[in-house]
Amino acid sequence: MLESRDLLIITNNNRVLEKYQSIHTIEFHDETYLEVLVAVRNKIHQNYKLLTHPMAGSLKPNQTPFKSVILMETELTDYNSLMLIENAIESANKFLKFKSLPKWSENCIYDFKTLDLSFVEGAITNKSLNPCYQVI
């Protein structure tokens, strides 16, 4: 079974950082949604595996500025994770090319951070339902 510190959360959401930095390993990027996906891809190339889908949730990359992804370290490159993240990056680029991210109010920004945090909370709370968490 995985320990708390075995999980890596890559995020650009300071609310995720604040809530989980004392429990899990956090890689915080003060960057865009797309740059977070690129950071996730870089970790997958360093033998990390996705535990949450990089496009989880119903919000598109041109709707929300925040993204958090949970990974775990493995011994080999996980090619399914690599394919998922490459597809997510391609999809994000398509959405952002079609329509750029709006300039949201502070209230909307807070709401988007809350939604992203809730996706992380749900994944961590329900990790017993995810067979990926049973690997180690």
Please tell me the pTM assigned to this model.
Answer: 0.90
* DSSP tag of 16: H
* DSSP tag of 126: T
Question: For the segment 91-124, what is each residue's pLDDT rounded down to a tens digit?
Answer: 999 999 988 889 999 999 999 999 999 999 999 8
The alpha-helical segments, DSSP class H, found in 25-126 are 33-44, 79-98, 106-125
pLDDT band at 60 (very low <50, low <70, confident <90, very high): confident
Structural domain count, the chain: 1
What is the domain extent for residue 68? 4-134
Average pLDDT estimate for 73-99: 94
